[in-house]
Chains A and B, each alone.
Chain A
Amino acid sequence: MVEMVSRPYASAFEAFAVKNPDVLCLSADLTSSCEIDGFRDRHPDQFLSLGMAEQNMMSFAGGLGLAGYRPFLHSFGVFLYRRPYDQLMASVAYPRRKVRLMGFLPGITTPGGMTHQAIEDIAVMRSIPNMSILETGDATEVESICEAADSIDGPVYCRVLRGSVPRLFDSPIKVGEMRELSTGADVLVVTSGIATEEALRARDALSNAGVSIRHLHIHTIKPFNEQALLDHIGSVKKGVVVLENHVIAGGVGSLVAEIMADNGVGKPLVRLGLNDTYAHGGSRAYLMKHYGLDAGALVRGIERVMGIKTGIDEEALAAARVDAVHSAVKAEAL
């Protein structure tokens, strides 16, 4: 059974921040929602409440950066770039302030609907010069996100998971690298964030159907190791499928497409994600199925690249879940 970790960010941030006095904890009225309420209560001197005023928070953080601090801004991802985009550009990104944007509720991980779902954040951040982007896909990555983010010489945007988070990996994020979760020879599957767990759900069913998958998990979206990706693409016979919790335009799928096009890689590519659409409010499982972000959608994508029908149905995926997720820990440990 996969281990579920409760509020991994809460303890990880506290442990990291107390060791780093120049790290400041900033919040914009979503303190418990971003799991920093305990930190606020225990370390009030290192905590700054900036209220429901993200534009000021962003420029204020730029000022803190000028004073040599490394502010961690906590809010839902959407609130860290949609309203304060101008401030993000002028006060943080351009001058390369060491501001760490901790964006919770990435993509459809919230039932809050359009206003709460950061579905185009990666596309926005990828286009900003000087910006780095990290995304967490399990509890171990959440536990290591603070250290990873704070190692970056400049601003960084992080997609952070909250609440009950599965543990899939046993090693921390190494900025600039990617995780090889399997090394098959037919199709390269590239996933990030919560999409990785979906891909693991499909792993045994695909194996039983005779499909050999090479699977990469991406936690560092920018900067990106282009050559490593090209090597993996070169190692598979058929093509590439990308699944992400984000709109297809501008996300990891676009990143892969750009690298393939730039390097003249003539293999089929299927990009899965929100297909030029907003989502609405609902449970994560419902939204992933409804918008084609789940294991079933990934299997259909792999079938397109392979030009076959695997016969894998929902039942096979559901049955595969527990063992497959657990086996990822083992695979990583090898």
Chain B
Amino acid sequence: MRNERSTEDIAMGIRRRVFEHSMRNNGGYLSQACSAAEQLAFLYNEGLNLGEPVLPAVPKPFAGVPSADNPDYVTGAGYNGPFEPQYDRLFIAPAHYALVAYATLIETGRMDAEGLEMFNKDGSSVEMIGAEHSPGMEVHNGTLGIGLSTGAGLAWGRKRRGEKGQTCVFMSDGEVQEGQTWEAVQAASHHGIDNLWALMDVNDQQCDGAMDSVMEVRDIATKFRAFGAVCVEIDAHDLDAMRQAKAEPHEGQPLIILARSSPTKGMSFLQKRFPRLHYVRFKSEQERAEMNISIAAELGIDPIELETH
């Protein structure tokens, strides 16, 4: 499935949609849209080979957790298309990017805009932290660091079955603080899992603030290479560089693309909030109004009509 819009256009659409949603809902994961809009737009619009969605454009309500008594349970992976040998699979490892991922599904025609109205509403499957049953999700990744291991296991299994489709893990750089990430890279390298690749949003941010102030991770590209991956570093907002990085040969090794991003790209007003960008809440109605005018102008749209509180 290919969208007729350009990836640049979709990235802009993601930022606008996440901005509008956050304005209306008194805050949100704005910074993740700034850093990752091009990456998610790239994955869905050209980087991945995905089939047509197999789930309804308007997501169904939460229908229970997996259990022996819930035989009709389905994950949200159907928004990424069917599980067929030729198609790629995607894991969104940082599940708190869900709002950005949902916006991407809408911008690429895989989910109706109405889906976002259900975001974080009780009884909805469009959860704030993406769950297995949330649109575009296939597994729980809210506990950071487990995504790459899952992708490695699936990729190894698919390779053994002779499937052509690749497995991609969208990651966040905070995950390199977790030991499991390194266990996953060494295992993927040891077993030559080269149908696995990761695109990592390296925005140098984590929940407590700038990563260097929380826990220095040093030169992660060198570390990834030392653990056996092919690693390419790019500007996360340069789509040509992203295309080139995706084409990097990595026979017998996993590929990890470090997309160095700005957590305020396209929403410069957020620089005033640096380095506390993980979840942006408005400190006052005045700040909300200023942010609305400033960011809307930068995104080339009218300020969002806000309900009075």
Contacts and interface: CB of A to CB of B under 8 A. Distances in A.
B147 to A, nearest CB: 8
B153 A62 contact: yes
A96 interface: yes
B12 interface: no
A91 B187 contact: no
B146 A59 contact: yes
B183 A63 contact: no
A87 B146 contact: yes
10 contacts: A50-B187, A59-B150, A59-B184, A63-B149, A63-B156, A65-B153, A90-B146, A129-B67, A130-B68, A154-B68
Given A55-B183, A67-B158, A95 B132 contact: yes
Residue in B67, B143, B153, B179 with the greatest tally of chain A CB atoms within 10 Å: B153
Contacts of A58: 149
Contacts of A69: 157, 160
B89 to A, nearest CB: 8
Contact of A61 (B132, B143, B145, B153): B153
Contacts of B180: 55-56, 59, 87
Interface string B148-177: 011111111110110000000000000000
A224 interface: no
B149 A60 contact: yes
A96 B140 CA distance: 12
Given A53-B186, A55-B179, A96-B66, A91 B157 contact: no
Q: How large is the interface on A (under 10, 10 to 19, 20 to 34, 35 or more residues)?
A: 20 to 34
Given A91-B146, A94-B132, 19 more contacts: A55-B146, A56-B180, A59-B180, A60-B156, A63-B154, A64-B154, A64-B156, A65-B153, A67-B157, A68-B157, A69-B160, A87-B149, A87-B180, A90-B143, A91-B140, A94-B65, A94-B66, A95-B132, A96-B66
Residue in A63, A65, A130 with the greatest tally of chain B CB atoms within 10 Å: A63
B68 A60 contact: no
A49 B190 CA distance: 9
A56 B148 CA distance: 9
A76 to B, nearest CB: 18
Interface in B172-231: 179-180, 183-184, 186-187, 190-191
B191 A48 contact: yes
A142 to B, nearest CB: 26
A325 B190 CA distance: 47
Nearest to A49: B190
A94 B157 contact: no
A86 B143 contact: yes
Contacts of A60: 149-150, 152-153, 156, 184, 187
B187 A64 contact: no
Nearest to B178: A55
Contacts of A95: 66, 75, 132, 139-140
Nearest to A152: B68
A155 B157 CA distance: 18
A180 interface: no
Interface residues of B, number: 34
B20 interface: no
B138 interface: yes
Nearest to B191: A48
A94 B191 contact: no
A91 B153 CA distance: 11
Contact of A86 (B146, B183, B186): B146
A58 B141 CA distance: 14
A68 B89 CA distance: 14
A153 interface: yes
Interface in A108-131: 129-130
Interface of B: 65-68, 75, 132, 138-143, 145-146, 149-158, 160-161, 179-180, 183-184, 186-187, 190-191
B133 to A, nearest CB: 10
B153 A63 contact: yes
A69 B154 CA distance: 9
A57 B232 CA distance: 26
Contacts of A130: 66-68
Given A66-B157, A91-B149, A56 B67 contact: no
A155 to B, nearest CB: 11
Interface of A: 48-51, 53, 55-56, 58-69, 86-87, 90-91, 94-96, 129-130, 153-154
Contacts of A53: 183, 186-187
B62 to A, nearest CB: 14
Contacts of B66: 94-96, 130
B183 A62 contact: no
Contacts of A96: 66-68
A257 to B, nearest CB: 25
Residue in A58, A64, A65 with the greatest tally of chain B CB atoms within 10 Å: A64
A63 B152 contact: yes
A157 B267 CA distance: 50
A120 B161 CA distance: 38
Contacts of A90: 139-143, 146
Nearest to A52: B183
A66 B66 CA distance: 14
A95 B149 CA distance: 15
Contact of B140 (A50, A61, A94, A154): A94
A91 B141 CA distance: 9
A49 B179 CA distance: 18
Contacts of A63: 149-157
A136 B149 CA distance: 31
Contacts of B67: 96, 129-130
Contact of B186 (A48, A51, A59, A87): A51
A81 to B, nearest CB: 15
Contacts of B140: 90-91, 94-95
Nearest to B154: A63
Contacts of A153: 68
